[in-house]
Amino acid sequence: MTQNENLAQLSKAGVAVWLDDLSRDRIRSGNLQSLVDEYSVVGVTTNPTIFAAAISGSDSYDDQLHAMAVRKVSVEEALRTITAADVRDACDLLAPVAARTGRDGRVSLEVAPGLAHDTDATAAEAAHLWWLVDRPNLFIKIPATEAGLPAITTSIAAGISVNVTLIFSLDRYRAVMDAYLTGIEQRIAAGGSLDGIESVASFFVSRVDTEIDKRLDAAGADASVKGKAGIANAQLAYQAYEEVFSSDRWKALETEGARPQRPLWASTGVKNPDYSDTMYISELIAPDTVNTMPEKTMKAYADHGQPGAAVQSSYADAEKVMQSVADAGVDLDDVFRVLEDEGVQKFVDAWDELTTSVKEQLEDKS
């Protein structure tokens, strides 16, 4: 099938196009395969909110739920069986992409969000999910909380590929990169193989604008500052990525066969209808990055997306944007702290909703 030209050009520029959604219906209907064939999709991300919508809105899970109800499995086991099955099937569908690219064709599955502040439990669940899905092109999503950082290191050292999620600040992003490098160093020291180990760092974009715009409005700031911080913050994250992955520390690991942890732009669906619906793609085009998009955003870029200025040429302007936001009275440290707390809580709420829905369906089918 013919690839969409806009997305094909995005791929040629070094941006891996990933879909930020998954459901059994997408897999069975051929929709996911068509996005791979026609829209240059080479990866998939999931989260508790995505699974809550997928399972509650479809009858594709009925037979599996009935079988588990008859067996009287726990709600927790049912949840993991269902989500692991979808992720495993998506991994199989994307296996040819993984074979072709050597680093994409990945599907992400998140640890239970309620574990976000428990290092040992996060690391243990990451290992369990890695075993449960049992596919080399899997990513385990671990939140970039303070407790999540050592779990990232532990998982990488164990040979588990990790998608680090819920990154908002440059300071935390640098800590994430350090956790990855430390994990690689520990694996090398233990004599472990680096074959197949990949990682991405999911830096959130649109949520930054939503929170900062709200505070700029409250401060009565000039409207010209609004809608710029999310992209500027991400552009500075890419600058940090270039610095870390050109360091002597990294070069020593690269010599051993390590692969860089790519920046992944997450939360790229525009929340404010006054903004361009493709801005979080157009302004974040850079080599060795991933952009995970809702289907609506992906198709908007396919229809009318145009590349913006190169990220590497935007660092000085990005610094000015972030300084302008701070000068307007916005406490950026507080913004990032609130966004992390809200991000974890949103996933906890979605997981609770999913748990309730699966429990009710198990009871109905027993």
User: Which residues are catalytic, by number?
Assistant: 141
Q: Using CA atoms, how far apart are residues 29 and 60, in angstroms rounded to an integer?
A: 11
Residues 6+ apart with CB under 8 A from 11: 17, 40, 42
Strands 41-44 and 199-204: unpaired
The first and second tokens of residue 343, run together, are: 């991000």
Cα-Cα-Cα-Cα dihedral sign, residues 38, 207, 80, 158: positive
Helix ranges restricted to H, 220-331: 229-244, 248-255, 279-282, 295-304, 315-327
Please report the beta strands in the chain, taking only residues with DSSP state E, as ranges in sequence order.
15-19, 41-44, 106-110, 138-143, 162-167, 199-204, 262-266, 289-293
Q: Which of 107, 119, 127 is nearest to 143 (CA)?
A: 119
Residues 6+ apart with CB under 8 A from 172: 144, 336, 340
Q: Using CA atoms, how far apart are residues 94 and 135, in angstroms rounded to an integer?
A: 11
Strands 15-19 and 262-266: unpaired
Strands 138-143 and 162-167: parallel
The DSSP secondary structure of 35-53, one letter per residue, reads HHHHH-EEEE---HHHHHH
Work out the burial of residue 348: count CB atoms within 10 Å of its CB; fewer than 13 is exposed, 13-18 middle, 19 or more buried: middle
